[in-house]
């Protein structure tokens, strides 16, 4: 049987992961799941771990849930390691969102100043996990969900020198769920090609006969349909002229770039009225854990779909099942480029459509991007590489360069002040700086 180790097991998303594994048990016969957390998440781990065990007990399968604060014990001989931890918990995310916003800039979980600091906190931990894996489970696959997912995956490959890694996100999952409906098609009647970076990708769609239907989809997007946007993203229409020009569908986070003025204004207003996203999520999380405490609840409650990461298990569990059973399912993953996106170096991590099998991801070639998108993509990858380098070396000047070229940060004295304040606010989680 298969051993799974989940780092950050106390996450409120864990029941969704269990649901995905239960659904796939016949092709992925799991024997044991180890949920790992830290002292600060002990109570969450206990509640959600018991809930997870009840879900398996209600299924026809015998799977044991182990809860532990000992990462090494969990990693020993694991076949798959999934990572869904949040260094500093939601309190850290509130600081990422609040401090830049105080100066009129974007603080967001994965974008702007907030996203860069989440990377600073997360990269050192993921590299520790990789070192543990080299000793304790050298044949295991790492399935990363911890954000910023693309940068974390890049750090694993570039600095961890670990290639058996797949980075995931639910944004492409949701797009591929909703868009077939918009076109009146079944999901298997459409063929998708995604390319870019995590939270910075575009996609094109053809029908089963190879006819490009991206323009049809663009038309539908302006008819007021549900566009498959995660709950945390403000859904305003993109400038239609740009979509018509590039003949690709941007991802939700592109609103921050194509319409910085509108999206930032919306975010800042929301922060002042109903609170930052982390503050809203705290409320949802409290409600979820109240539900999870119910000894009669043995299935994933509906309320979990209020979280932005809903449906991520479709990507996580399917990639694990695809590797295990060499299924060659097509998914969108963060993985080494290898030429799929020729506008970026072959050795960097990109988010692309890929066939997932026993040997990992085999990327679908996307080809060159239009001029404007290529420029943006190259800047964003440079920013990511600087952030990861700074996270590893602790070099302040490298961090400042990343801040300066990040399109969501207005360069200058204020930007540096924001960075300095974030360094102070997050001191305890930034041992390298």
Binding site for ligand G6P (CB under 6 A): 109-110, 147, 169-171, 230, 232, 277, 281, 307-309
Phi, psi of 279 (to 5 degrees): -65, -40
Number of residues that bind Mn ion (CB under 5 A): 1
**Which of positions 3-62 make contact with ligand NAD (CB under 6 A)?**
7-8, 10-13, 36-38, 40-41, 44
Cβ atoms of 12 and 303 within 8 Å: the answer is no
Neighbours of 257 (CB within 10 A): 15
HSE-up of 55 (CA within 13 Å, CB side)? 24
Helix (H, G, I), strand (E, B) or coil at 335: strand
Catalytic residue among 159, 253, 256, 324: 253
Report the Cα–Cα distance between both ends of the chain, in Å, rounded.
Answer: 42
Instruction: Indicate which of ligand G6P, Mn ion, ligand NAD, none lies near residue 146 (CB less than 5 to 8 Å, by partner kind).
Output: ligand NAD
> Among residues 150, 146, 129, 123, which one has the least CA distance to residue 78?
129
Instruction: Please report how the helices 14-23 and 42-57 are oriented relative to each other, as an axis angle in degrees rounded to 10.
Output: 20
Taking the least distance from each CB to ligand NAD, the nearer of 74 and 246 is 74
**Which of positions 163-182 make contact with ligand NAD (CB under 6 A)?**
168-170
Q: Is 253 a catalytic residue?
A: yes
Min. distance of Cβ 91 from Mn ion in angstroms?
21
Of 52-60, 99-107, 162-170, 394-402, which segment contacts ligand NAD by CB under 6 A? Answer: 162-170
Instruction: Indicate which of ligand G6P, Mn ion, ligand NAD, none lies near residue 89 (CB less than 5 to 8 Å, by partner kind).
Output: ligand NAD
Instruction: Please report how the helices 149-158 and 112-136 are oriented relative to each other, as an axis angle in degrees rounded to 10.
Output: 40
Name the closest residue to Mn ion (Cβ): 169
Min. distance of Cβ 95 from ligand NAD in angstroms?
13
Cβ atoms of 252 and 170 within 8 Å: the answer is no
Q: Which of 18, 87, 137, 385 binds ligand NAD (CB under 6 A)?
A: 87
CA angle 117, 119, 125 (to 5 degrees): 120
Min. distance of Cβ 127 from ligand NAD in angstroms?
12
For tokens 């592109």, the residue is 254
**x/- contact string, 146-185, with Mn ion (CB under 5 A)?**
-----------------------x----------------
Structure tokens at 142: 């790492």
Give dist(CA 308, CA 195) in Å, integer. 21
> What residues act catalytically?
253
- Contact residues for ligand NAD (CB under 6 A)? 7-8, 10-13, 36-38, 40-41, 44, 84-87, 89-90, 109, 125, 145-147, 149, 168-170, 308-309, 312
């Amino acid at each position: 049987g298969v051993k799974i180790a989940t780092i950050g097991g106390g996450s409120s998303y864990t029941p969704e992961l269990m649901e995905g594994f239960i659904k796939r048990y016949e092709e992925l016969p799991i024997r044991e799941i180890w949920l790992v957390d830290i002292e600060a998440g002990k109570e969450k781990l206990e509640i959600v771990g018991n809930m997870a065990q009840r879900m398996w007990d209600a299924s026809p399968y015998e799977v044991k849930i182990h809860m532990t604060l000992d990462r090494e014990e969990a990693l020993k001989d694991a076949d798959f390691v999934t990572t869904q931890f949040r260094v500093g918990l939601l309190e850290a995310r509130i600081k990422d969102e609040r401090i830049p916003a105080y100066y009129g800039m974007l603080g967001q979980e994965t974008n702007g100043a907030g996203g860069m600091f989440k990377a600073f906190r997360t990269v050192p931990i993921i590299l520790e996990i990789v070192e543990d894996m080299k000793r304790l489970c050298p044949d295991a696959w790492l399935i990363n969900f911890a954000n910023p997912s693309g940068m974390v995956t890049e750090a694993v490959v570039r600095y961890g020198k670990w290639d058996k890694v797949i980075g995931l996100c639910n944004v492409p999952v949701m797009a591929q769920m909703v868009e077939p409906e918009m076109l009146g098609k079944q999901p298997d009647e459409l063929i998708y090609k995604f390319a870019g970076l995590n939270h910075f990708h575009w996609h094109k769609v053809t029908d089963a006969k190879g006819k490009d239907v991206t323009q049809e989809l663009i038309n539908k997007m302006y008819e007021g349909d549900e566009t498959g946007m995660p709950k945390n993203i403000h859904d305003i229409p993109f400038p239609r002229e740009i979509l018509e020009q590039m003949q690709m569908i941007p991802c939700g986070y592109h609103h921050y770039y194509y319409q910085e003025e509108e999206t930032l204004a919306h975010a800042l207003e929301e922060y002042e009225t109903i609170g930052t996203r982390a503050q809203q999520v705290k409320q949802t999380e409290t409600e979820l854990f109240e539900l999870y405490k119910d000894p009669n609840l043995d299935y994933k409650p509906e309320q979990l779909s209020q979280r932005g990461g809903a449906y991520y298990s479709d990507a996580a569990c399917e990639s694990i099942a695809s590797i295990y059973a060499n299924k060659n399912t097509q998914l969108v993953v963060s993985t080494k480029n290898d030429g799929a996106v020729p506008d970026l170096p072959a050795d960097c991590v990109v988010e692309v459509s890929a066939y997932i099998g026993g040997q990992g991801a085999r990327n679908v070639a996307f080809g060159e991007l239009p001029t404007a998108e290529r420029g943006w993509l190259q800047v964003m990858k440079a920013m990511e590489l600087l952030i990861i380098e700074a996270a590893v070396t602790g070099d302040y000047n490298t961090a400042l360069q990343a801040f300066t070229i990040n399109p969501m940060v207005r360069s200058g004295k204020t930007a540096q002040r924001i960075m300095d304040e974030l360094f102070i606010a997050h001191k305890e989680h930034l041992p390298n700086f």
